[in-house]
Structure 1
């Protein structure tokens, strides 16, 4: 919230700014599901979301609840009389501060019930309560990382989940294993004491492009071993030493019948990485797995031919 709510707004259009009927998204992309937001200026929407949070808390007894906050395109808020009335009444400068006000109400509601909210870092603003936990996902060239650092310096806590390091749904051409292993979940513009506000590392795997268990394991393994070292060890060894330690893991994956990505440490040319990423973006999302399957099939065929001789 307030974005990524298209499925709810399709069922309850009255909770949006203009109460227009919308369809549930059938394709991927930020503009598809984040240009329609909950109406921040409607008290009924506020009560509606609180009732949803009550239901979630009734099902999940855990102390943390992720409330989103990412990729919220605020064009509707700029045109909505209720949202603009609330923004002016609260003395807020812009719609980003309005989002902070909106999220703060939900953060406080959860806090009153003994829970803590997690918010994506591109949804942070300087007015957001430091009791919320920031989840840092945006690449270094997006301003959201600066917001995470400011949140930590203000006493807030953070979970590190860099998009270009630990998003397992993305292809190895874009995020090779070495990049995942060398991920440093730290900031250089916070103090050593403030580093204690970094709770840890969390990898993500979004399943829009993953429709089989085979593809799930292929994208996850052996990346998971690399992320484990990032999160659990203070001093990591050189990458080649990590590759040596991976060999027993490969044996384990095979014994368990798990598909895993092999040869991902092989140095690819920049052109092959660009080509592989472009193939993925063209929605040929299984290309790397299919290439490995073809190599395996070709290898098996070669062995059969040799045995016949």
Structure 2
């Protein structure tokens, strides 16, 4: 099934709630490339394997349905930074994946642009006191951002953590879009938050400043649920494209596997090893 009616997708899969049966896992792992299967097999915990597997399946689903390529002909490689791309003469097909908290998220576009996505769970589990954690992270944020995060320490710790995560998600989406990763000096990037992030509306008025100069980027922000925020960074022809107002669609396992094709035989030993692993630390 080829879906050409629209050119943009936003998908979210709650892998934490996905407790696959042996049959489901065998089918899912048979639908990704051997090297990706081997990579996933090296995870120590089941939760990390499921999060990564969901991302690989979302990628294949998108390229199959929107790139007009048979499922079993889709072939991915990785660039020098480790970012997946589709082999072959495939034009105007851009995508990015992120997983954190309970979700794997996917943003895809059938147009030539820069694209990055990042999801964050709105929580702090670092162990240190929040003030100490903020002190350690100080150089990664501008004074404007810290003022937004702390609000002069008038916010509750929960609200400060939520705003911190929102800013981090924005930064991650941007550096992923430009292909440099968080090795970049993040203090050069400053976001000006203009609207609160609440359930329902898509926020598109956040501004990006690089070395103090405003940049022409669009950032689409939303809440997947009360515990997770997601940011999508977009730039087309060095300009901020008009937002399509597209919100994330929650996928279930049936959606994820629609039109999938096994690339190799079912691997019972691999499946056995997965189910023998602990869920998490």
- The TM-score range, normalised by the shorter chain, is under 0.3
TM-score by length of 2: 0.28
- Which structure shows the higher helix fraction? 1
Pick the structure with greater CA Rg: 1
Higher RCO (CA-CA < 8 Å; seq separation 6+): 2
Give 1 or 2: higher strand fraction: 2
* TM-score, with structure 1 as normaliser: 0.26
